[in-house]
Amino acid sequence: MDQQTPTMTGAEEVSWDLTDLYSAQDDPAIDADLHSAQTTAQALAADYRGRIATLSAGALASMLQRYEQAAEKIARAYSYASMAFSVDTADPALGALVAKMQENYSQFQQTIIFFSLEWANLDPEQAQALIEDPALSRYRHYLETLRMREPYMLSEPEEKILAEKAVTGRSAWVRYFTQVQSAARYPFRGEPLSQSAILAKLYEADRDMRIDAWQGITDGLRANAMTNTYIFNQVLADKASNDRLRGYPSWITSRNLSNEVDDESVQALIDAVTSRYDIVQRYYTLKRNLMGLDELFDYDRYAPLEESDAFFSWDEARTMVLESFGAFHPTVQEVANHFFEGGWIDAPNRPAKRGGAYATPTVPSVHPYVFMNYMGRARDVETLAHELGHGIHMYLSRQQGILQAGTPLTTAETASTFAEMLVFQDLLERAQDPRERLALLSGKIEGSFATVFRQISMNRFEESIHLARRGEGELSTARFSELWLASQRAMFGDSVTMTGEYGLWWSYVPHFLHTPGYVYAYAFGELLVLALYARYQQGAEGFEERYIEALSMGGADWPHTIMAPLGVDLTDPQFWHEGLGILDDLVGEAEAIAAETI
């Protein structure tokens, strides 16, 4: 493709309309909402501080209703600022607006923190009686999960100090990292490219193009290595300090509590995945042979097995996604169509726009939005389906209110990955030629590997850097790179040659900073969906309706309880091997097609 005249996708003008939140960044309603939220928080503190243990169920419900209304207002303003900043990270006014939201949110947290502390310290029998009272049914699970953090909560003055310092601590470093990554340009054949644009080159059939892109990415990461290394060190040190102050037994405990799973269950997932690295090595050995290479390097991993000029305009992607969703359930299609018709998607790849893709729920009284960088490839169609899956989940769960609509990260990927699977199956059914089917199957395998095995290998890297930072002090770029390569080589074995320069590629991954400990949730979600999709294909009676009901629950119950009606047992350590067995079968299918056609 001509670098000077990029192909138009039709997504160039698909920009989201944020006026459902506010009319503009200087809308007076933003300050009005912030003032109202802070005023309500102060009133709640005046009315209820020191009295939580004396409240009846009805009085506590009334207090939580007021809290919900205030939380909605501050979340609405924060959502607007974050989204506007995502599409133009170079705008200092938007950066200042994000900082203002962070400061206001910190103040709001400090004012309302008394409730979490008093509730967590309530007598267990009294707390349980309140949780079971019908007057509090709308908040039952929210109240249950707050109790889980009781052993790790500090005094009210200490909690306020941590909330205050977070604005200029970890949050500030994460924002700075986002700006550095968005502003970074990577050299490619004499042209500076954004991160999203140059990463896309790694999926090209032309090996020389992949090598040039790989070198450009490496050069760009090397140029920012000192900055990224310092940011990582500060965020790691900040988390170590917080964990120590709260008494968490491990670096991952706080994330597991948020995900509503225990340390042992997460370790069972990690052990199951790492025990099947042989699946990865078997597949990449097959890919090396199919590509006719003596050695498969890290820049070859995403190369297509078949050179393809397949291009999907925005309208084609929209049609494909909606048809796939409609074939599953009309509600899924109907909700997805709201995103297209309502201006709830921002799709074009622009200068200063943040890379990647995400969906955000905003607040229950408005609606979710989807953010992506659409470039017309098959993987972009799948990304669109993935983020719309998130959006559908968020839309359906709005009924639970702001305190219970959100899902823990362990199940947050369920709808997104399932939606992606629906579109993939549509693509696969359209392919008649065995070689084309093999190429599509290969892409799906690699996508699942990236979600399961790569994320767990990144979890292994993440654990190693947290432990090393706590045990060794500030880490050098070389030390980060050493730990990164060790985690990657453990997964690929001899099937892929990891070059020394690939050691720098840890430094652009935002999840390590934005949400420490997050990455294993991708593997959790992917293996869960593989099992769910198998049940759907087997024609489990009433599956589609139960699936919609599960999404509508949001975070209003424990993940294993929400998923039980769909026929899965998340409490069974052997459950993970079911999903891994499906991946093993997919590789076997690819091997069989290859043996027959190549």
Percentage helix, strand, coil for the chain under 3-state DSSP, each rounded to 5: 70, 5, 25
Give per-residue pLDDT as tens, 531-559: 899 889 888 899 999 999 999 999 999 99
Q: Do 160 and 50 share a structural domain?
A: yes
Average confidence (pLDDT) over 15-42: 97
* Whole-Å CA distances, 450 to 444, 491, 570: 10, 11, 22
Q: What is the 3-state secondary structure (H, E, C) of 38-95?
A: HHHHHHHHHHHCCCHHHCCHHHHHHHHHHHHHHHHHHHHHHHHHHHHHHHCCCCHHHH
Residues spanned by the domain of 161: 18-168
Is 24 in a helix, a strand, or coil? coil
- The answer as to whether 201 is a domain residue is yes
Q: Is residue 1's pLDDT more than 60?
A: no
Please tell me the predicted confidence (pLDDT) of residue 309: 63
**What total number of domains does the chain contain?**
2
- Cβ neighbours of residue 582 closer than 8 Å, sequence gap 6 or more: 530, 531, 534
Q: Do 200 and 79 share a structural domain?
A: no
Domain boundary among 493, 514, 535: 514
- The answer as to whether 405 is a domain residue is no
- pLDDT band for 3, please (50, 70, 90 cuts): very low
The CATH number for 126's domain is 1.20.140.70
* Residue that has been written with the tokens 């652009």 in this structure: 508
Q: Do 200 and 116 share a structural domain?
A: no
The CATH number for 500's domain is 1.10.1370.20
Q: Do 31 and 152 share a structural domain?
A: yes
Beginning with the edge strand found earlier in the chain, give each strand of the sheet holding 358-360 in spatial order: 345-346, 369-371, 358-360
Please tell me the predicted confidence (pLDDT) of residue 4: 43
- CA geometry: angle at 452 spanning 222 and 539, to 5°? 150
Q: Is residue 95's pLDDT more than 50?
A: yes
Q: Do 204 and 114 share a structural domain?
A: no
Average confidence (pLDDT) over 244-273: 92
Percent of the chain with pLDDT over 70: 98
Average confidence (pLDDT) over 118-134: 95
- The answer as to whether 45 is a domain residue is yes
Q: Do 35 and 163 share a structural domain?
A: yes
Average confidence (pLDDT) over 367-372: 97
- The answer as to whether 344 is a domain residue is no
248 vs 378: which has the higher pLDDT: 248
Q: Do 230 and 130 share a structural domain?
A: no
- The answer as to whether 91 is a domain residue is yes
Q: Do 268 and 126 share a structural domain?
A: no
Tokens of 491: 């997964």
pTM summary value: 0.83
Q: Do 151 and 108 share a structural domain?
A: yes
Q: Do 115 and 152 share a structural domain?
A: yes
* Whole-Å CA distances, 38 to 32, 239, 362: 10, 28, 19
Please tell me the predicted confidence (pLDDT) of residue 433: 80
Domain boundary among 141, 168, 195: 168
Domain boundary among 463, 489, 514: 514
Q: What is the 3-state secondary structure (H, E, C) of 327-355?
A: HHCHHHHHHHHHHHHHCCEECCCCCCCCC
Rounded Cα distance, 423 and 431, in Å: 13
Give per-residue pLDDT as tens, 456-468: 999 999 999 999 9
- The answer as to whether 244 is a domain residue is yes
Contact 127, 388 (CB under 8 A): no
- pLDDT band for 5, please (50, 70, 90 cuts): very low
Give per-residue pLDDT as tens, 554-579: 999 999 899 999 988 888 888 899 89
Please tell me the predicted confidence (pLDDT) of residue 308: 59
- The answer as to whether 129 is a domain residue is yes
Q: Do 164 and 26 share a structural domain?
A: yes
By C-alpha distance, which of 597, 5, 7, 589 is closest to 306? Answer: 597
- Cβ neighbours of residue 215 closer than 8 Å, sequence gap 6 or more: none
521 vs 470: which has the higher pLDDT: 470
Look at strands 186-188 and 191-193 and give their pairing: antiparallel
- pLDDT band for 81, please (50, 70, 90 cuts): very high
- The answer as to whether 294 is a domain residue is yes
Q: Do 29 and 155 share a structural domain?
A: yes
